[in-house]
Copies of this chain bind each other. A is one copy, B any other.
């Protein structure tokens, strides 16, 4: 589906546009553990990398459409603004007002739908057809996957030796791109982490084929996918070595750890890798952890802490 050269090409596209997020360490978490906080990326998540790499490949003056209630919406909106492309984002009409405002703030046109009665994929396809627009998928696309993998490339360039790379798994774009470049660079093992309540990847690995589950109830809203993507599964089954799961309680503990020790704001989905390592689920002589994003508001964070 993609190769390491695609990730390297994406890195060139993103150079000077995406932030090169730092690599941070915490002795408390363990020796030789390098953390890549994509929370400090533009729009607060790695999603910017994939969206920009995809949209940059389109002819100037293109139209794009995306559907997302989360980080992908803002990523497509900002990438489009930077590239002079018109973006239409399909969002649920009950999406949090701050997310609607942020997406609109990047100059995107918002179209809302009723998430209980509407089929967002059908509406998005119709919108794309009407407007002659290209759909920008959140993960199941070679250019999106390659762009997202640049987070791992930077981590490996900056951290030195990494035996095991730990990556959150939702749709599988981040782990697909990351595993592609990591294995090419000599990383021994790539481990995906997903919420225990929604272990579609773990089940898929056990069965050797894509398994669909009900949309999971978890605080990790960015990882509430119900099945691996078609393309990301092809990459994942070839290159990912293991999937481990963490509970919501372990995720909150990891968010608190990130706050107090790393001084970083990490959203629930972003904290799963730290959670897995903190709980001793992954042991290795050296570990790289990708923290996928930091989009949680202060009030929501306080509530999560109080609930556990």
Determine the distance from Cα of A265 to Cα of B306 in the docked complex, in whole angstroms.
Answer: 18
Per-residue contact bits, chain A 86-128, to B (CB 8 Å; 1 contact, 0 not): 0000000000000000000000000000000000000000000
Cβ of A297 under 8 Å from chain B: yes
- Among residues of B, the one whose C-beta sits closest to the C-beta of A38 is B263
Query: How many copies of this chain?
Result: 2
Does B298 lie within 8 Å of A259, measured CB to CB? Answer: yes
Q: How many residues of A contact B (CB 8 A)?
A: 22
Determine the distance from Cα of A299 to Cα of B304 in the docked complex, in whole angstroms.
Answer: 11
Determine the distance from Cα of A264 to Cα of B44 in the docked complex, in whole angstroms.
Answer: 11
Cβ of A294 under 8 Å from chain B: yes
Which chain B positions have C-beta within 8 A of A297?
A: 259-260
Per-residue contact bits, chain A 262-288, to B (CB 8 Å; 1 contact, 0 not): 111110000000000000000000000
In A30-73, the 8 Å CB interface with B consists of 37, 39-40, 44
Cβ of A22 under 8 Å from chain B: yes
Which chain B positions have C-beta within 8 A of A302?
A: 301-302, 305-306
Which chain B positions have C-beta within 8 A of A298?
A: 256, 259-260, 301, 305
Which chain B positions have C-beta within 8 A of A262?
A: 40
Does A263 lie within 8 Å of B260, measured CB to CB? Answer: no
Cβ of A24 under 8 Å from chain B: yes
Determine the distance from Cα of A39 to Cα of B261 in the docked complex, in whole angstroms.
Answer: 10
- Among residues of B, the one whose C-beta sits closest to the C-beta of A255 is B298
Does B305 lie within 8 Å of A263, measured CB to CB? Answer: no
Point out which of A37, A40, A262, A263 has the most chain B C-beta atoms below 10 A from its C-beta: A263
A250 to chain B, nearest CB (A): 16
A282 to chain B, nearest CB (A): 24
Contact with A263, one of B22, B256, B264, B299 (Cβ below 8 angstroms): B264
